[in-house]
Structure 1
């Protein structure tokens, strides 16, 4: 396993060791001791989530507020997504900064997203199966979001907006300035 820093504080790309042969491949998707040794971060993941999305589905930008904030370790099990995170921690030197990366079933990378980040992705393949490990249980009352096309974030989703499939809930999310001023 290799850990690569991103431009955002405390956010990492995790590159697993992949063993390929004529049968296919094998990898450890998570190894707690190796993760701690390489990052210095000890997290207890308590909930695994999975979504299946078709081409053009955009999910996000989502986060959990306050004491129910969630650290996530995310990956595309199948297909390809453009994964996007935003640092929403006012005390962070990378507050309001965006990072995006491709997660797919070829590179098999994962993204470690600390508490206090907004997260979303758009499916770039026919279908994607996306997995999330979370260190806090989901609490509906703590759910928050930011509109995907917030002008202050200026995220290039690398996908035609008119072809995106977005839930009514995600289309109704507020702008960043409505939350943080």
Structure 2
């Protein structure tokens, strides 16, 4: 298992070692010891989600209030998605920065996002199935969104599917009307970097 830190502090790309033969493939898509060694804290599991999306479906940018926030360990077990992490922590050295990882059923990578970060993904194939482990359960009143098309964030979303055909982006009403990064900041919705650091250090 290879774990590499992304440009956004608090996020990592995880590439598992795949063992294949005539029967198929085996891999460890999560393993605690190398995860804790790389990240510096264990993954508390409170909820596991599965999302199935048509090509062109764009979900996010989503984030949760801190405390407690919601750390996520995400992989794609079928199809392909471009998974994006955005630093929404006010006062962070990488505030507003984004990075991405291609999650698919070929390399079977995963991405880990710690508390306070924004998360989004774009499905690049019909029936793309994403599963993610969450440190906290769903809490509607504590969860928010940022527009995935915010020019200040500037995410470069693909316009073609994995097969090379053009995709029309499909968003929920909530995501399509989400505020910009600066609007969310001015409204006091974004987590503060120091609060996130304090919460994570106190949760170890």
TM-score w.r.t. the length of structure 2 is 0.84
For residue 38 of structure 1, report the CA deviation from its aligned partner.
Answer: 3.4
| Contact 2:66 2:115 (8 Å CA) reproduced | no
Q: Which has the higher strand share?
A: 1
Query: Structure 2 matches for 1:1-181, cutoff 5 A?
Result: 1-159=1-159, 163-181=168-186
Counterparts of 1:38 and 1:145 in 2: how far apart (Å)? 28
For residue 8 of structure 1, report the CA deviation from its aligned partner.
Answer: 1.1
Counterparts of 2:85 and 2:139 in 1: how far apart (Å)? 20
Counterparts of 1:43 and 1:162 in 2: how far apart (Å)? 35
Counterparts of 1:141 and 1:33 in 2: how far apart (Å)? 34
Counterparts of 2:144 and 2:42 in 1: how far apart (Å)? 25
The CA RMSD measured in Å over matched residues stands at: 1.5
Report how many aligned residue pairs link the two structures. Answer: 181
Which contiguous aligned blocks of 4+ residues in structure 1 show a shift greater than 4 angstroms? none
Counterparts of 1:35 and 1:147 in 2: how far apart (Å)? 31
Q: Secondary structure at the match of 1:163?
A: coil
Unpaired stretches in structure 1, ≥5 consecutive residues: none
TM-score w.r.t. the length of structure 1 is 0.94
Unpaired stretches in structure 2, ≥5 consecutive residues: 161-165, 187-204
For residue 162 of structure 1, report the CA deviation from its aligned partner.
Answer: 7.6
Q: Secondary structure at the match of 2:67?
A: helix
